[in-house]
Structure 1
Amino acid sequence: MTERQILLVKNSWSYVIVKSEEAGQLFYHRLFEIAPELKSLFKSEPKGQSRKLINMVTLMVSKLQKLDEIQGEIKSLATRHHKYGVDPAYYRIVGAAFLWTLQQGLKDKWNEELEEAWVDMYAVISNAMIKNQQAVAA
């Protein structure tokens, strides 16, 4: 990711975090709308799950310039995802729901440049997750 993309992601996330509970609920509603088969993977109550999502994204956004500092968290999260039965193909579906959520929440702030920055950010994180998840499975 470029420095500009990192700045765009961080600035836009500051708007989303203000309405984090709403964003989390919107994300899961959209995810289960486009992939109802994934609902069985989530055992905790929706509010708690939303908080976990927002907290993890906040951590990752805050460390975009120093991703090496959160490799342990990424590996731990990937290990948990493996235990839950998450298929690497699900990351594409989750990414689509997440980008849709950002677009809904950011409204007129959302544009092509911002979308590209978030797509790149999600690719960096999800690729690291998939790589770690595959290592756990091996």
Structure 2
Amino acid sequence: MKNVSKVIAFSLISMIIALVIDLVMFHQMGTNLLSEEVLWRAGLIVVLWIVVTALAALRMRFCGYVTILVMLYYAAADFGGFITVSPKSSAYGLSIEVLSILGIIISVVGIWYGIQQRRQYDVDRINNRGSANGNQRK
């Protein structure tokens, strides 16, 4: 259960960073933040987090894979902000770059917990199979 709370926490932080960077990049390009394109993308980022949270809480078989894919998506959004922020040498640009790097690192940690999530599912499944057959481990 400890890993579930870590998955939820790191995915939440990663989602917030990816959302902020995405909104900043849309604003930098001059796109209205209430436009359909921006709202759809922001909604997708939030819905992906909800899916990760729900699957982690339910401990579904493929929850680790979904966590890994969503964290990769968030890391890609952060990397996109890192390479497209302009001007890079301003305080604004540097803060977005630092936030992007932080988001990438947090996404990598989220990927690690996604791998642990899958491993724990397999361990629990093996232990349950052993106890169902009368082979109790000590």
Instruction: Mark the structure with the bigger radius of gyration.
Output: 2
Q: TM-score range by the shorter chain?
A: 0.3 to 0.5
More helix by share: 1
Q: Which has the higher contact order (CA 8 A, sep 6+)?
A: 1
TM-score norm. by structure 1 comes to 0.37
